[in-house]
Every structure is written in structure tokens, then in C-alpha cells.
Amino acid sequence: MRNKNWIEFNNNNIKNGDIKDKVCEGQPQKIKIHKEKKGKKGKTVTVISGFGSENTSQIGNLLKKLKVYCGTGGSLNDQGIQLQGDMQDKVKFFLRKEGYGI
């Protein structure tokens, strides 16, 4: 019989609220979500802007979660977060679920 090559552990004592890092801490800011068609060779992109924080690592973590949730590509630039395609409804639902003000 082969040895196990994975580790089983229980992480029930870790709460999501304890490890959740927020991009907009302090006073809530208005996050703007809109789609653009210029740039990207005429393709539609969803732009998310209005984060009050300059911490790019937290915004990068949010971008990673959004890309996984929406199942699409995206990037971080000076305007904010860009996701490929028309993802306005999915982004609004995800950000509300995570506790961000829209």
C-alpha cells in the first residue's frame, strides 16, 4: 500500500471574518463599475474603480478573487481593475457578498 502524499487538516476554527482583508477600510467609498468598448481592440471590458486605498497588494488579491469568480481574465492598471467581457452583474453580486459598498 502506498503512503499518502497529501495532508489532511481541519480548519473549522478559522473564521472568514478574521482573515478577510478589505481594500476600503475606514469610511466606505463609492465603487464605480462600468463597461468600456474602446481600447482592447474594440472588445468590451468591465472597469471597476473608486478604491480609496493605494495598497496594490490588497487590490491585487481582490482582482485574483474576481477573476476566479467570473471565470475571465483581467488586469490592474491606473484606472482600477479591468475584467474581460461584460461582467457588471457578477461583479456587483460578488462585491456585495464580500461586504464592499456599491
Question: Residue 65 and residue 59: Cα distance in Å, rounded?
Answer: 10
Closest among 55, 59, 58, 101 to 80, alpha carbons compared: 59
Q: Is 49 helix (H, G, I), strand (E, B) or coil?
A: strand
Q: Is 76 helix (H, G, I), strand (E, B) or coil?
A: strand
CATH, domain range 29-98:
3.30.780.10
Domain boundaries, the chain: 29-98
More confident residue, 65 or 24: 65
pTM, two decimal places: 0.68
Contacts with 99 (C-beta within 8 Å, 6 or more apart), sequence order: 20, 22
Instruction: Give the pLDDT confidence of 25-62 residue by residue, as tens digits.
Output: 554 568 889 999 876 678 899 999 888 766 788 889 99
More confident residue, 98 or 53: 98
- 84 residue type, one letter: Q
Position 12 confidence tier, pLDDT thresholds 50, 70, 90: low
